[in-house]
Amino acid sequence: MGRTGTIGRRALLTAGAAALAACSAPAEESAPKPLSAAERAARAELALRRRAVAASTALRERYDATLAAHPALTARLTPLRTSAEAHARALAEGLPEAEGGTRKKADGSAGRVTATPGGTPSATPPAPVPADQAAAVRELVAAARRTADAHGAALLDAPPEYARLLASVAAAAAAHAYLLTAADAPARSTR
């Protein structure tokens, strides 16, 4: 009887080991291959570009929400809103078409696809706009500063050509904040 129990255990261990080997073999074959350094860099750059587009798109959406809530600010905000939209479009260059990138037309010129940062809302809607016009402008100033900071922080990880674009867009967002606050500043005496 002692011998039967031993054979039974051996048979069980052998069967278990065979089952484990059979289960792990397909998993090893289907396991994803590690990414090369170039693939990791390309993915990191794509993620950086997506974040940059999202930051400029969020600023443009803040302008849209403020303009909808305070139509009296149209003359003052429309040029800045247009600028924010142009920044989002410029930053989207090189993204896949479905994300607002561009494609070449038959004549060789670049053509915008239908899903653009100007036409596609971001994942989160902008916060409600304050009923007070001055408070709404202050929130736009804060949004412009956040956008400038986000683009400035991304400069360290961006490839050289994209870093130049980010620096330019960051400076423009900082200029938005300045222009929005400068218009509210009291006139200074020249005495």
- pLDDT by residue (tens digit) across 41-84? 888 889 999 999 999 999 999 999 999 999 999 999 999 999 99
Q: Residue 135's domain spans which residues?
A: 46-182
Domain-embedded: residue 74? yes
Domain-embedded: residue 24? no
Domain-embedded: residue 54? yes
Domain count, the chain: 1
Domain-embedded: residue 80? yes
pLDDT at residue 13 is higher than 70? no
Domain-embedded: residue 100? yes
DSSP-assigned letters across all residues of the chain: -HHHHHHHHHHHHHHHHHHHHHHHHHHHHHSPPPPPHHHHHHHHHHHHHHHHHHHHHHHHHHHHHHHHH-GGGHHHHHHHHHHHHHHHHHHHTTS-GGGT-EEE-TTS-EEE-SS-TTTS--SSPPPPPPSSHHHHHHHHHHHHHHHHHHHHHHGGGS-HHHHHHHHHHHHHHHHHHHHHHHTTSPPPP--
Domain-embedded: residue 110? yes
Q: Report the CATH number that the domain containing residue 177 is assigned in CATH.
A: 1.20.1260
Domain-embedded: residue 188? no
What's the mean per-residue pLDDT of the chain?
78
- pLDDT by residue (tens digit) across 174-184? 999 999 998 66
Lowest mean pLDDT among 14-18, 42-46, 94-98: 14-18
pLDDT tier, 144 (very low <50, low <70, confident <90, very high otherwise): very high
Average pLDDT rounded to a whole number, residues 79-104:
81
pLDDT tier, 173 (very low <50, low <70, confident <90, very high otherwise): very high
Domain-embedded: residue 26? no
pLDDT at residue 20 is higher than 60? no
